[in-house]
Amino acid sequence: MVIFRTGACMSFDLRTRLDARRAAHLYRQRPLLQSPQGPQVIVDGQPLLAFCNNDYMGLANLPEVIAAWQ
């Protein structure tokens, strides 16, 4: 089953543009966390402060919050 035709709605070649951004080191790749989300995270084995997540107060990993969500 075909969901969409590539290039049907775009007047430019997306793959070419993305490849150009990668070559120019302008392609954004989000790092994967190696720890639970929180104010301190581990990325590539390095502990970092996280100022860009929705758990700046460190509540997402509280047992009470997890139990309420389940």
Of residues 50 and 18, the one with the higher pLDDT is 18
Within a domain: 9: no
Within a domain: 17: no
Work out the average pLDDT over 2-19: 71
What domain range includes position 36? 31-70
Which residue in the block uniquely carries the two structure tokens 């989000």?
Answer: 30
Within a domain: 52: yes
User: How many structural domains compose the chain?
Assistant: 1
Indicate the helix (H) or strand (E) that contains 42. strand 40-43
Q: What is the pLDDT of residues 12-21, one digit of tens each?
A: 788 899 999 9
Q: What's the predicted TM-score (pTM) here?
A: 0.47
Within a domain: 3: no
Within a domain: 41: yes
